[in-house]
Structure 1
């Protein structure tokens, strides 16, 4: 909660005091960061949006008439707008990247390759179904989910070596299944 001294800091910062603005930054950087992180679900983007929020705040402070004792509602509004801008930029990037990827697609479809790929996928699924429940979880976490050995071990409550050894056997089994189709 902002008290009278914070109102004075806002007035001093609006007049150009970097010291006062640094004090406001120190008081509000964490709440603004967590708002940005909640909205964006990405640490790097949240850090960028937090910095952008304070850059905008610095520029707009001279025209600010603080309506309450707290600066946080104003900063959170700026943060939400900056996060929305970041999300729109992400969407544009995905659309642009998708368009570039579409341009790289071949003009013809290799039906034979699709059949082979479908057969390989079917063999892998059958092999996964034949795994023990623990091995199936390890496969899903490590091969499909991209978990590191230790992260999978922590998730499953087993030692690191168990994940490493079982995953090695699972991979050998999958290679054998794939090798039978080629």
Structure 2
């Protein structure tokens, strides 16, 4: 039997024994269905991507204790995914409540026109720097910084590797920070 024809039970046993190759096969087989379950539960691509990764991280840790009774690993992964989505929703609710309470306390009593002018100038400088980026870098910046995409989601959308997005976004942020510091 080749590696590609092993059933989930065999792959789980190998992965539980520490085989990263077996776990990668399970990951490849189930990452899409788990992602779509997560997306249905949390509603946004970025959160769904995070919940999917958290699901597989928990699965990796719990594999040694798993006794796979059925043919498919998906029901077990779906259960983990539901718990991870619920945990994320609770964290986000708690964070929103904490943030809104803190924001209410820190709202300025008056509008600072000078600060608004400085902020507008800063935005103009950032937009100027972004306009000078290559088309791919502009898209990476738009997806990750403006729309909140995770690295992998942006990479999938752009048809490039995860590392390309991560490295280019790091360089873009460094460039923007340097530009802003130089002009202040």
TM-score (norm 1): 0.55
CA-atom RMSD in angstroms: 1.9
2:9 and 2:71 in contact (8 A); partners too: yes
CA distance in 1, matches of 2:53, 2:106: 37
Q: How does 1:22-171 map to 2 (within 5 A)?
A: 22-105=24-107
**Structure 1 residue 29 displacement after superposition:** 0.1
Q: Which runs of 4+ in 1 moved over 4 A?
A: none
Unaligned runs of 5+ in 2: 110-184
3-state secondary structure, aligned to 1:21: helix
Match in the other structure for 2:145: none
Count of residue correspondences: 106
| 1:87 Cα offset (Å) | 0.3
| Larger-gyration structure (1/2) | 1
Q: Secondary structure at the match of 2:22?
A: helix
